[in-house]
Structure 1
């Protein structure tokens, strides 16, 4: 099941089963705050990077093995999922397999394309991001493909709202000194009124990012911005998920597969795997000694991430 991860605790989706629609790290952006890795291929080319048949087979296998409740199947992962030209077929296929709702986590960059908007219509929830509305902030935080323009992306989001009957949860991720200025916040306020999402979710840098200068906003500033953007805006809280056993796979391998996507704390790993933190500590200590993972401190919290040598072996 190369293209499936989790179920993992998610602050936005509860307990979600993740589906990678593109290989690591193929994306339209190279965001400074990305928690996965620097973009290796920044592209706008849509093609079937991973065959729909392969993904649907992996989803079926994962659902047979998983234990406990799954709140969502999330098409997201290690790059921009809408780059996979079979995303519509994949969404339809998942919905034929299971009644678990399907969410798509996208950076919104391809929503100006009619074929992309049409492909997403059968998903239950679309979770687009919009971190900036001015060209300077857009370039500063998202580092997009040179052909992308923020005005077209906003137009695409507005068009999708008119066409789509499901839930749209808009995420805005703020980095200190990059996209948190007054002009940007006022622009976001106007744009939110244009897009009319069902929810607006404010986020900041909570895990180690690819760029050391991607700093989190302090809580009081986040609250100021939340108030400025309107009553319907929420600050995403840390997830307090329940413990579940998630599969019969070897636990060490499961730890590696989870942190291969993004750095995790021991507490996050314990929640995802249904283990206590003492058991997790024993496992991560062993994997660290073997050179498969490594630890680092970020915002005074301990995170584990994949070692580069191990990541290269698994690529």
Structure 2
């Protein structure tokens, strides 16, 4: 069997359609991913995305019984089988840290998102995991206006889950360049507020150099202004997850991207803390 490492987030390492294991640098242990986009389709096309053959689109119809069977079978293997030995996972990483709805595209594009949330919560309950591990939804937040997404978020919150809401830029120009979508900062604010009032929400931000240049002062100031506006509106954001490039992009812009020095991330984190917001930095 291949050895799982923090640099390998392959979605098919366990040979399953919807469930995949990740040794996560952020969580410090085993993260169990739920991939609702096995068709490699997303409504965004972030330049740093590690998904090969990424296509524009949404999640396909999900075989809910297969997802249930895969998740239950995988949890049984991890908790009662020899999963850790087969994948040669070190002793200090042999703990389930979270179950993350993530994968190869925007998971909230799933037409039955609320039912998927209910399914995951039910399986976690069967294994007595609710309240013992994190439940994370990693999302670009662009579909928070959909009733099925809002219903799913409300239930996710009831299960003790949280949202990691992607905000890589707070300018229309920056979002077009990084995420390759046309959005206004006001739309991002509105979607963030929807998410945070329905479910515990963190902002997840990737900072990197583009053509050797770090984010401009204009970009950084706009980001800080967005955070200040969230505070002014009393939007209950938990904090910021600030991270840099860790694995190579599979997009055509990959040669133009490079990691920033850790000191850059640390300095920007201090600017965020000066606003009274919590920050976690992952290089």
TM-score by length of 2: 0.74
1:179/1:111 Cα in 2 relative to 1: closer, same or farther (>3 Å)? farther
Task: Measure the CA separation in 2 of the matches of 1:115 and 1:65.
Answer: 32
2:243 counterpart SS class: strand
Task: Measure the CA separation in 2 of the matches of 1:57 and 1:188.
Answer: 42
Query: Which structure 2 residue ranges, 5 or more long, are not aligned?
Result: 1-15, 80-93
How far apart are 1:48 and its partner, in Å?
A: 4.9
4+ runs deviating over 6 angstroms = none
How many pairs were matched up?
Answer: 230
Paired residue for 1:109, among 142, 145, 151?
Answer: 142
Query: Conserved in 2, the CA contact under 8 Å of 1:23 and 1:50?
Result: no
Answering whether residue 248 of structure 2 is matched by residue 213 of structure 1, we say no
Query: Which structure 1 residue ranges, 5 or more long, are not aligned?
Result: 238-315
RMSD: 2.2
CA offsets 1:194-233 (integer angstroms, 9 cap, x no match): 1542120111112111221122111122122111222522
Answering whether residue 100 of structure 2 is matched by residue 96 of structure 1, we say no
Match of 1:20 in 2: 35
How far apart are 1:113 and its partner, in Å?
A: 3.0
Answering whether residue 62 of structure 2 is matched by residue 50 of structure 1, we say yes
Match of 2:112 in 1: 86
Paired residue for 1:32, among 47, 67, 85?
Answer: 47
How far apart are 1:10 and its partner, in Å?
A: 4.0
Answering whether residue 101 of structure 2 is matched by residue 64 of structure 1, we say no
CA offsets 1:270-305 (integer angstroms, 9 cap, x no match): xxxxxxxxxxxxxxxxxxxxxxxxxxxxxxxxxxxx
How far apart are 1:151 and its partner, in Å?
A: 2.9
Query: Conserved in 2, the CA contact under 8 Å of 1:51 and 1:86?
Result: no
Task: Measure the CA separation in 1 of the matches of 2:27 and 2:187.
Answer: 27
Instruction: Note the 1:250-269 alignment, pairs <5 A.
Output: none
Task: Measure the CA separation in 1 of the matches of 2:28 and 2:37.
Answer: 21
Match of 1:200 in 2: 240
Paired residue for 2:162, among 103, 125, 148?
Answer: 125
1:121 counterpart SS class: helix
